[in-house]
Amino acid sequence: KQQESLYEAIGGKPVLDRLVETFYSNVKSHPDLIPIFPEDLTETARKQKQFLTQFLGGPRRYTEEHGHPMLRARHLPFTITKKRASAWLSCMEDAMDEIELEGPAREEMMQRLTMTARNMINTPED
């Protein structure tokens, strides 16, 4: 039997959709993140749903529409400090709490997001 992906383990599309919506509503009100995100996060959330789907081993929706993610390169136009990476991760932790995503799949997802977030840091703290 094929091993279940993290995408399936967290509950698939309905759970990921709720997670991403909740995450961006947190981003919208985080003082450290407001300055670098667009006011309308509809398109950002749509792309993030596609990306996280494939990041967690689900269908390759992001690459189908946008090509290789090149995440670090796509984040270079934005000033990303250690403080902003922590803010991003805390918005995600809070979103997981809010939708009551629990258990080993949550822990593994959070670990992978933490490594990726650290990799996005492109500016020293001022």
For residue 36, the minimal CB distance to ligand HEM (Å) is 4
For residue 3, the minimal CB distance to ligand HEM (Å) is 21
Question: Binding string to ligand HEM for residues 64 to 83, with x set by CB under 6 A, is what?
Answer: --x----x--xx--x-x---
Nearest residue to 53 via CA among 19, 22, 23, 91: 19
Q: Which residues bind ligand HEM (CB under 6 A)?
A: 36-38, 43-44, 47-48, 51, 55, 66, 71, 74-75, 78, 80, 84-85, 88, 113, 116-117, 120
